[in-house]
Amino acid sequence: MAQLSFVIIAVLAALILPCILVIIGVIGLNKLQVQEDIDGIWRRQDSDFSKNRKYENDLFKDKTGGTSMLLGIAVPRSGGSMMKAAHLMELQQRMNLSEHVTATVDDITLTYDDVCYNLAGAYQYPCFRMTILDCFSQGGYDFSKFHQDTFQALIVGRAMAVLRPPIINTGLASTVCKASCNVDGQAASIVATLGQKMAGPAGTWESQPRCKGCMDKFVSEADPKVLDAVYKQTLTVFLATVQNIPVASLRGQDIDELVSIALRTALQLNGKSPYTWQMGVNLFPQGYPRPSLVNPNGSYMTDAEVLATVSGTCYAWDEGQAIPPINKYLALAGYSKANTPMQETDAVQNVFLFKTPEAIQTLLKSGTAALHRPGGALNITLDQAKEALSQFKSKFERFFSQGWKDSKHGDVEFTAWSDDVGAGGTTRNMLGDMTMKALPQAIIFFVIVILLSAAFFIRASSPLRESRCLLAFVGAVLVIIGVVASIGMLAFFNIKMNVSMSYTMPFIMVGILCDDMYMLILSVDTTDAGLSPDQRFLKAMRSVGVPITVTSVVNFGVFLTLFVVSDLPAIYDIGVTGMVCTSTTFLMLMVSFSALVYLDLLRRTARRMDCGFCCIKLPHQAQESRTAGEEGCHIAKEAGEVINVSPGLLYRRLYQPMLRSWVGKTLVLVIGAACMIVAVIGLTDIEVGLDLEDLYPANTQPNQFIARRMKYFPVWPAGLNFGQLDYKSPDVQLKMAKAWENVLATPYVAPGATTPLLWTVAFASWGMSSSIPAFSSSLAGSPCSLSNPYTNGMCAEKIHAQYGGPECKATLWENTLGLKHYDQGGFCLPGPMVGINDTKSYCPVYDFATAEDHAACFARWNKHTRQVSLTAPGILMESDGITPKVPIALSKAGGSMLYVYNLYETSDYVQMMKDTRKYMDDDKSMHSWMNGIAYAYWEQYLTIIEFMWSVGAWAAGAGFVISFVFLLLELTASRFGKLGPRIYCSLIGALLIMGVLVTSMLTVWGWMALAKIQLSAFSAMAILFASGFAIEYAVHIVHHFLESQAVTAVERIDYAMRFLFHPTAMAATSSFVSVFVLVFANFRFITKFFFAPLVMVVVVTYFYGAILLPCTLSFMGFLPRLGPNDGLQVITQEESGQAMNRNGAVSDTGTMDTNSSLQVIAQAEPDQAIDQKGQVHVIVEKGSDQPIDQEPADLDRVRVSL
């Protein structure tokens, strides 16, 4: 009945927990999400940078700030220079094709204009993109008829603004100042604007002193309405004159519209864009086209002409009024000022910018969309906007790179890449795909491990009875269920499956945990076969349960250390996963699988068949036949059963001789020392970083793009972020400008950005009075000038004059910080230019009394100009979308105009971050920080080496403490020795375990460095995994060694390895197979950062743990032998041709004295007698001096006399 109860309990234990875990795993796996955000794998979470990112995210909640970027690179397929007209024309066609893609979301079709980033005005002007085509008239490929009309209206408006003063003067000279003026022709500025053919010859009357004095006096004193009347009347007469029609015929008509039509004709604007009609701001002569790649006769511009053109300053459509000149460091491969004029360039890069989903949603429902968007405004959800952006990035990338490796698609290779801002880009899509691609490999690995485990336990001597194939098969399945269920449980911890986890945890954890499963199976073989199955099972569990518990707890402690110490998601997620896997599988093995071990023991005791045929009972035999030459210590029992602790041929012929040979052990120690020396050499030259092309599979378009980019364009966008500052303070505004200029002056920031791109500077300039010479409305770039495409003349004073309300008047502040002057790319001005006669310089600033006043004026600036879009301050707005929330908690600078470049190596990234952060992050006087892709991805390399030393030390410390505590507790609970020796042995044992852990990690790290596998979050995990493997070997071996009752250190380690050799070898084999599967990933990222390091882990930890450690222990005869524990423990083994003498020593005669006794150490059972030395003697009943035959089949039964 007792055994029946055990069977029922075993069956329930074997079934209940796996069923529960399967249910939990299925639910969890259905909820488990894939980590597609590289920040969720790569970026440190506790650094100041991450805290600032969190600060930003908390402010904006689910909103995305900034812009999204897509990069496209063009390279001639046959090599050579890209600066050929035919190549650039091919580029124009590809860009035009790409910009005509559409996205359809829920039957709503959006165009490129709906999602692109537009600096000058959505729908009214083309989307912003940076391309070297802007050097040529072909850069106007994206100016539609509507865009042309908008541009022509801008030019007409500017012309009318220029004509207004002379037309008013013409009217005054003919009327109120007629007596003082001798009108002898048209005003000179009218002729200069319209030409003599249309306006007639210029007169000299404007320079007549009396005439000029009269006009100036009238203009200064007259009411603006009077001047408007004079302007309208004179303009009507002028229009009638140039068109040679009666004035009366123009009455009742829209004079402004008629003048606009006349000016378009006179200026030859019809059908023109800024690329075919230069505005005369920075490109001259006005009205002429930019250089064309195609000559009038249809031939192409020569290569020399192309190079000469791009060597000059090239502008976007606004000719540098707000958008900086084309940044050639970004656009042309190999560009530097020293190479100007350029001789050739092998590649060109194009930058395309997209709005964020929130900005897309806002634009589509705006008044701008209602007025200018074909089809009018739209109301879409944020999810629809995200989907649209995702589609656009994917389609744009696909269209731009179409045929990238097919010469049939032209002479130029096009590749593209998009970031992950706002919606998934190239990297996000790759991470999702690669994470899921690990699944088929994991399944293959699982099948291999299951079959391999079953094969390990085939017994050729008795394949039907003694084999335990089905038990090992089910054991491997249970381990896999435990690991897979643990991964599914991650969903309940809100942890996403990332690529590093998918390519490590299923493979490594199964490999590690199968070791414990193998030990549980083999543990029964060490027990007395004469005992009942229940007693044998309990003794087996006592012998391996503690070391398995110790290894599980130590592994848990190491994973806990990774979780607590690391702030890299890739590592601390592994820590969480490892803790869950270790705990779950420990329970699975000790509860469910141990029950199966018990049931299998019943099967073998009842002589039933393996492999599922347990209903078939084999016929009784006195003794199972055994393979020839198999030797071991066999002690027969009453029923003829044997205890078989033979470790096998490999152990006896190779491993055991090594342990017993001084030469063999010395050789192992020398090899171990050599491994460490090689590792130390590697550790002296640690490379950090991750080659970006490694992130993408070979022979794919993204991989080719990254290879091209890192060769030609090692450039990334960057930005300056400012926290909650007193933005209304002039001192703060100037300090922000100084930080901006300091950052721009660092060697890794690409030239081209100017201080007016800082929003506080542009805002203050907008508020300056036009009465100040430097801000006069007559200057094309002045905020008060009608020709300014970003303000249309709506500066603060004009808005105040037209609408009233706050005056929003900026002031001048002395330049005490050494800020740059306007002619150096700055914004400060010499005193005389602002009406102050001294040698100092002054800068525009705002000096508001309250934050609310500041916000009100910002709202006006935002509403009436496009400068906010241009400077992209990234400020959180009120519900009206134009008024900042006060206090302003965050603002940004740089937007799409600031780039860091020359970033070829990881050391360049590290130095760039140090240089730029010195003026932002490290300045504790204001809350500010640098931001951008380069900072987010490469920040970990600032401290990763120090981090590895730190986390390695913590892991080693955790391994030592936990090992010491559990060894001491286990030895104490089993009543081994006295307290002093127990503590001493536990201390030495824990030090040895820690030593194996540390040397394994250092060796793997050093070997990786020599193999040029850079240190990164991914490769770091392999180093840390070495601790788990090392502990699995070291704890078991040290534990068995300390409990051995043999006399010498060699015999004690021999005792330990007799049992451990097989399971450790099996574990190493299954682990190697698990890692080897990764070689078929066909992805260099996996083979370089996972396969190669993990192979090192398996080899190094097995060598240190299962070979070097036993050899080291064999020299530790100074460790005291502790008292006995429960259970049968064999401490000697017959050798071929040897026999035991009276004292237990092996003699060379091959005979055993009749009076000699083979001593077997045992804890006394209740019915056993024990001598004074605590030894039970096994009396061998043989004839005097009779030799012991080598063939086990000839051995007589040996009876235990107790």
The string of pLDDT tens digits covering residues 808-818 is 999 999 999 99
Predicted local distance difference test score (pLDDT) of residue 475? 92
Q: pLDDT > 90: what percent of the chain?
A: 48
486-512 confidence digits (pLDDT tens): 999 998 988 889 888 888 888 778 877
Decide if pLDDT at 1136 tops 70: no
Residue type (1 letter), 672? G
Mean pLDDT, rounded, for 227-232: 91
Give the closest residue to 578 by CA, choosing from 450, 482, 514, 499: 482
Are 522 and 1067 in contact by the 8 Å Cβ rule? The answer is: no
Instruction: State the pLDDT at residue 881.
Output: 85
| Six-digit token string for 112 | 């490129």
pLDDT averaged over the chain? 85
User: Mind listing the pLDDT tens digit for each residue in 519-571?
Assistant: 888 888 878 888 888 888 888 888 788 778 878 887 888 788 878 878 888 88
What mean pLDDT comes out for the span 126-146?
Answer: 95
> What distance lies between CA 519 and its chain's CA centroid?
39
pLDDT greater than 60 at residue 259: yes
Indicate if the pLDDT at residue 961 is higher than 60.
yes
Identify the pLDDT of residue 571.
82
Please count the other Cβ atoms lying within 10 Å of the Cβ belonging to residue 182.
Answer: 13
The residue with greater pLDDT, 113 or 196, is: 113
Rounded Cα–Cα distance for residues 194 and 186 (Å)? 11
Q: Who wins on pLDDT, 674 or 444? A: 674
| Sheet hosting strand 829-830, strand order edge to edge | 811-814, 841-845, 829-830
Using the predicted structure, report yes or no on whether residue 637 has a pLDDT greater than 50. no
What pLDDT sits at residue 1173? Answer: 38
- Split at pLDDT 50, 70, 90, the class of 200 is confident
Asked if 825 and 755 touch (Cβ cutoff 8 Å), the reply is yes
Phi, psi of 414 (to 5 degrees): -115, 130
- Give the pLDDT score at 1187: 39
Q: In sequence order, what are the residues at sequence separation of 6 or more whose Cβ sits closer than 8 angstroms to the Cβ of residue 784?
A: 770, 775, 776, 777, 791, 793, 795, 797, 798
pLDDT at 109: 95
Check pLDDT > 90 for residue 364.
yes
Residue 547 token pair: 């070391």
Work out the pLDDT band at 758, boundaries 50, 70, 90.
very high
Give DSSP secondary structure letters for 332-400.
BTT--GGGPSP---S-EEEEEEE--HHHHHHHHTSHHHHHHSTT------HHHHHHHHHHHHHHHHHHH
Task: Lowest mean pLDDT of 313-317, 720-724, 875-879, name the range.
Answer: 875-879
Q: What is the pTM of this model?
A: 0.78
Can you tell me the distance from the alpha carbon of 617 to that of 608, in angstroms, rounded to the nearest whole number?
Answer: 4
Asked if pLDDT for residue 1156 goes beyond 70, the answer is no
Cβ contacts of 634 within 8 Å, gap of 6 or more: 642, 643, 644, 1192, 1195, 1198
The per-residue pLDDT for 324 is: 83
User: What is the CB neighbour count within 10 angstroms for residue 1201?
Assistant: 12
A 10 A CB-CB count for 242 gives 18
Report pLDDT for 1133.
37
Neighbouring residues of 344: CB distance < 8 A, sequence distance ≥ 6: 80, 81, 83, 307
The mean-pLDDT minimum among 245-249, 968-972, 1083-1087, 1151-1155 falls in: 1151-1155
Q: Model confidence over 431-489: pLDDT tens digits?
A: 888 888 888 888 888 998 899 888 888 876 666 667 888 899 999 999 999 999 999 99
Q: What is the largest CA-CA distance in the chain?
A: 156
- Are the C-beta atoms of 748 and 903 separated by less than 8 Å? yes
Confidence grade of residue 10 (pLDDT, cut at 50, 70, 90): confident
Determine contact, residues 993/1113, Cβ cutoff 8 Å: no
240 burial (CB, 10 Å; 0-12 / 13-18 / 19+) is: middle
What phi and psi, each to the nearest 5 degrees, are found at residue 1160? -120, 120
pLDDT at 1163: 36
Which pLDDT band holds residue 879 (cuts at 50, 70, 90)? Answer: confident
